[in-house]
Amino acid sequence: MAKITFPIGPQHPALKEPESFKITAEGECVVDVDIRLGYVHRSIEAACLARNYVQGQYVCERICGICSHIHSNTFARAVEDLLQLEVPARAKYLRVLVAELERIHSHLLWLGVAAHEVGFDTLFMYVWRDREVVQDLLEMITGNRVHYGFTTIGGTKFDLTPQMADKCTEGLMVLRERTEYYKQVATTESSFLKRVEGVGVLTEQQARELGAVGPTARASNVPYDARWVFPYDAYPELDYQPITSDLGDVLGRTIVRVLETFQAIDICEEVLRRLPEGDIQVRAKPRVPEGETVARCEAPRGEVFYYIRSNGTDKPARVKVRTPSLANWPATIAMLEGAYVADAPIIIASIDPCMSCTDR
């Protein structure tokens, strides 16, 4: 059969951000995929070198519009490690709270996008409507719906008042109820299952070899979650287990994300119960002593990795960011090869790709 090469991207309705996949297909079967990145490259790693640490944190927050808190948090943790600062306990809990709220909003966003990719627009509309609940909570706590600017080097910028905490508890109850419903729809609606079951299978061995991270790896039964493997912030005091699935297909990734949403709601509620009193930040010096360090955080999409080398001035000498989407591309190529052309968009979407993260 004749081979046909067609592009998905850089401009394509299935992709919300520009990135190029050249798919070679024989009939309806994908035989080869070529990825080209860089369509939203903003040279953030280089831009950080020309800015001081405080500015750098804001620049890094703009790597991603969805998991922005994780980026500023990871950056701050790396710099705090270089400064040997001990962050107040309350700030650690608040960081976890915002991170988990962000996870809820990101996973709900993903569920809507995934439903849209397979043509199930009703679920998409419903999920995104209820995502507004968590967006409102984030806006109430940080003042913004995206790019919260919540973390600062040495703590957090804003405190949580008791009134806010009450509103959070209420909002989380609504979210739990709605997520319960979406879990039921996503795991029982037969025409949806037809499109996700057995699609884009990634075996456990492949997931390990190709370095998959986040829900993509956990859906292939790799229990790797930076929150529990390398606990940071308040996570050492919170006792949870990584959520895994042994399905390895798009359905597995859906289930993992939905269950993680529940887990995030649990964590938020526990954080609100256990939130210690006290300061929310300590003063940080603008000059950072010479050295190098590494920080790992679990973003909604997987592990975020920062490497920072300082040269003793107020500007870093090297900032390296590894985002989860970039780590998941080799696994995505493996999933796409041999798949149906019709399944390509949902397979690409199933890793919850963030092209801005990928390119930086």
Residues 226-265 that bind other proteins (CB under 8 A): 229-230
Is position 48 an interface residue for other proteins (rule: CB under 8 A)?
A: no
Sign of the Cα torsion 144, 67, 130, 133 reads negative
d(CA 53, CA 49): 9
CB of 230 to other proteins, least distance (A): 6
Residue 146: strand, helix, or coil: coil
Q: Which two tokens stand for residue 79?
A: 């710099």
Q: Alpha-carbon distance 42 to 174, whole Å?
A: 38
Would you count residue 192 as binding other proteins (CB under 8 A)? yes
Which CB sits closer to other proteins, 148 or 305? 305
Q: Is 63 in the site for other proteins (CB under 8 A)?
A: no
Q: Does residue 12 belong to the site contacting other proteins (CB under 8 A)?
A: yes
Count of residues near other proteins by CB under 8 A: 71
Least distance between other proteins and beta carbon 160 (Å): 27
Site for other proteins in 132-171 (CB under 8 A): none
Q: Are 291 and 309 in contact (CB under 8 A)?
A: yes
**Residue 50 binds to other proteins (criterion: CB under 8 A):** yes
- Binding flag, residue 275, other proteins (CB under 8 A): no
| Alpha-carbon gap, residue 357 to 329, rounded angstroms | 12
Residue 295 gets which letter from DSSP? E
Q: Tell me which DSSP letter residue 343 carries.
A: G
188 is a contact residue toward other proteins (CB under 8 A):
no
Q: Is 29 a binder of other proteins (CB under 8 A)?
A: no
Our finding on whether 298 is near other proteins (CB under 8 A) is no
Min CB(291)–other proteins separation in Å: 8
Candidates 68-76, 87-95, 260-268, 295-303 — which segment interacts with other proteins by CB under 8 A?
295-303
Q: Minimum distance between the CB of residue 250 and other proteins, rounded to whole angstroms? A: 12
Classified as helix, coil or strand, 32 is: strand
The answer to whether 35 and 19 have CB atoms below 8 angstroms apart is yes
- Residue 296 interacts with other proteins (CB under 8 A)? yes
Q: How far is CA 54 from the centre of its chain?
A: 23
- Distance, in Å, from the CA atom of 12 to the CA atom of 24, rounded to the nearest integer, reads 16
Q: Which of residues 79-138 bind other proteins (CB under 8 A)?
A: 81, 115-122, 125-126, 129
Sheet of strand 29-36: strand arrangement: 3-8, 20-26, 29-36
Asked if omega into 231 is within 30° of 0 (cis), the reply is no
State yes or no: residue 31 binds other proteins (CB under 8 A): no
Determine, following the binding rule CB under 8 A, whether residue 211 of this chain makes contact with other proteins: yes
Task: State the nearest-atom distance from the C-beta of 232 to other proteins, in Å.
Answer: 9
Is residue 185 close enough to count as binding other proteins by CB under 8 A?
no
- Least distance (Å) between residue 321 CB and other proteins: 9
Secondary-structure percent of the chain, ordered helix, strand, coil, rounded to 5: 50, 15, 35
